[in-house]
Structure 1
Amino acid sequence: MPLSQAAPGIVGPFADLDVPWLLRMRAESRRNHPFLIWAPFEGPVRSWSYGEFHERVGTLSAGRRQGRSSRSA
């Protein structure tokens, strides 16, 4: 059996500890702290807090654009 596959029924120590879990946990515990600071060579600096980034990722994963509540046909 390849090392990358666990035996059926075996749960590893990192089960359910994935990127969405980590982002949600940080958004809850550090909502207003900086998560990402974008400082291009030209143009304005932009930063996202953990909470704002979590909301943006949720919106994007739901297939919506910022400021729109639903997709238009």
Structure 2
Amino acid sequence: MPEPEDRCLASLLGRRKPLTRKLGRDYALSMALYATGNYDAAYLAGLIADSKAMREADFEKWIL
């Protein structure tokens, strides 16, 4: 797991929204982004996650 100061890139929310639209729903990418431990990447992962493709174990991992 990255050090706390390395977990946040402080990216602007306004820059994530266009990226989200460009990426669309992508289960594999969302899981990879979440696994980085970076807060910004995890936020983006939540925006692009395909809820229909996610398993119950995926949701539990993200919540806990």
Question: Which of the five TM-score ranges fits, normalised by the shorter chain?
Answer: under 0.3
Kindly indicate which of the two structures has a greater share of residues assigned to strand. Answer: 1
Higher relative contact order structure (alpha carbons within 8 Å, sequence separation ≥ 6) = 2
Kindly indicate which of the two structures has a greater share of residues assigned to helix. Answer: 2
Q: With the length of structure 1 as denominator, give the TM-score of the two structures.
A: 0.23
